[in-house]
Amino acid sequence: MRIYGETIASRLLLGTAQYPSPAVLQDVIRASGTGLVTVSLRRETADGAGEGFWRTLRETGARILPNTAGCHTVKEAVTTAHMAREVFATDWLKLEVIGHADTLQPDVFALVEAARILTSEGFKVFPYTTDDLVVGERLLDAGCELLMPWGAPIGSGQGLRNPDALRAMRAHFPGVPLVVDAGIGRPSDAAQAMELGMDAVLLNTAVAQAGDPAGMARAMALAVEAGRAGFDADPMDRRDLAVPSTPVLGLAELA
């Protein structure tokens, strides 16, 4: 998968929050095979208390994608992005501008505005958005080169609530990388997203809160691989009626 001119080794992307210990987080990253992990600037602090967490991530070798998690306004998101670029020394940024406290649904109006500002300043923006086609077009017009539609509310584990909308996005944006972000709860959800033609999935809670986080990370990696292989193999269309696999012609007629 190529994003912003660079190759990402794995189609499974991981968040880094809510893990019981740094050691478990490292085990999860290695078990998943991911090459890209998101991290909120809020995990780092000015007094250096976050250095242990930062060192844990560096030791895994995974690329860091800073995240404006928790931002609710354009100003807050842009300011956080500037700080993240300084702390993590990267122009890559996962952009979140939250508009609803309960569902954590993106404020798509503020999202587009913030994306336009940040791309003009040289950021490579990964926008967390809804599955709306018009919003997707506005984000691409703002300078984004990929879209990250949600599957369901963050941390809900509901899977893909509107697969038809994701299927429509794939058809409408055939050359744009699409990453399902949020809502994945089980490996079957990840496989379904990939079978729809998504280029990757980004998840966190489903792994972090599993009884065996490393085991779940490995399961998610296999599901992503299987789902993508299924999509590439051009699966059969669904049918309303049964179709016999054994030919009817040539069968003996018994009196």
User: Known catalytic residues?
Assistant: 94
**What is the C-alpha to C-alpha distance for residues 32 and 26, in angstroms, rounded to an integer?**
10
Spatial distance between the Cα atoms of 124 and 94, rounded to a whole number of angstroms: 9
Which amino acid is present at 11? R
140, two tokens: 């691409």
Give me the phi and psi of 168, to 5 degrees please.
-65, -40
DSSP-assigned letters across all residues of 185-243: -SHHHHHHHHHTT-SEEEESHHHHTSSSHHHHHHHHHHHHHHHHHHHHT-PPPP-SS--
Sign of CA dihedral 75, 78, 83, 87: positive
* Beta strands across the sheet bearing 63-67: 148-149, 124-129, 92-95, 63-67, 36-40, 12-15, 200-203, 179-181
- CB hemisphere CA count around 222 (13 angstroms): 10
Question: What type of residue sits at position 48?
Answer: G
CA-CA distance, 150 to 136, in Å (whole number)? 12
Q: Rg of the chain's alpha carbons, rounded to an integer? A: 20
> Is this structure's pTM higher than 0.85?
yes
pLDDT tens, residue order, the chain (255 aa): 889 999 988 999 999 998 988 899 999 999 999 989 999 876 445 445 556 777 778 888 888 999 999 899 999 999 999 999 998 889 999 999 999 888 889 999 999 999 999 999 999 999 999 999 999 999 999 999 999 999 999 999 999 999 999 999 999 999 999 999 999 999 999 999 999 999 999 999 999 999 999 999 999 999 999 999 999 999 888 888 888 887 766 666 776
Give the pLDDT of residue 237.
87
Annotated binding-site members for 1-deoxy-D-xylulose 5-phosphate: 155, 182-183, 204-205
Pairing of β 63-67 and β 124-129: unpaired
